[in-house]
Amino acid sequence: MAMPLSKVNNSYLYYPPAQDEIQLIREAVILPLALIIVERNRRELERKARTLRSIFARAADIMIAKMKADLTTNTQQLLHKSITLCMYTNTADQISYRFNCRGFEDQIAYSHAYIRTEINKCISAYSAGIFTK
């Protein structure tokens, strides 16, 4: 089916992503990685016998639930804004992602050090959110 001419001639479709859209892309990169780390740590808690294991496990469960909800929201917003994202290359020093934002295609690269720092910030923010309630 053909695209309506109003969409073909709409110059808005080919503008670079706005700051909030770049933030959505960044969250789409960082949040799944942080979720993987929290889930891995949760599994390790189950294997180790510690005195406060049940408290740590419950905190991890709360963080996992919140992260999954936020990841779902992020994915819905990306779909709503017609943004697609996929991993492009993974080298020793950086990971590159390609994205398409309303027809505007580009590549974004993050260093491994930056990703580690952002994952730590993300996990810290979620854990702080648990204990401030």
pLDDT per position as a tens digit, 67-113: 999 999 999 999 999 999 998 888 888 999 999 988 889 999 999 99
Within 10 angstroms of residue 82's Cβ, the number of other Cβ atoms is 12
Express each pLDDT in 13-49 by its tens digit: 567 888 999 999 999 999 999 999 999 999 988 887 7
CA–CA separation, 67 vs 64, rounded Å? 5
So what's the pLDDT on residue 90?
Answer: 86
Q: In terms of Cα–Cα distance, which of 132, 16, 122, 110 is closest to 71?
A: 122
Domain boundaries, the chain: 18-82+115-131
Mean pLDDT on 5-17: 62
| pLDDT at position 12 | 55
Q: In degrees, to the nearest 5, what angle opens at C-alpha 2 toward C-alphas 101 and 4?
A: 70
pTM: 0.82
CB atoms within 10 A of CB 64: 16
Confidence of residue 1 (pLDDT cuts 50, 70, 90): very low
DSSP assignment letter at 11: G
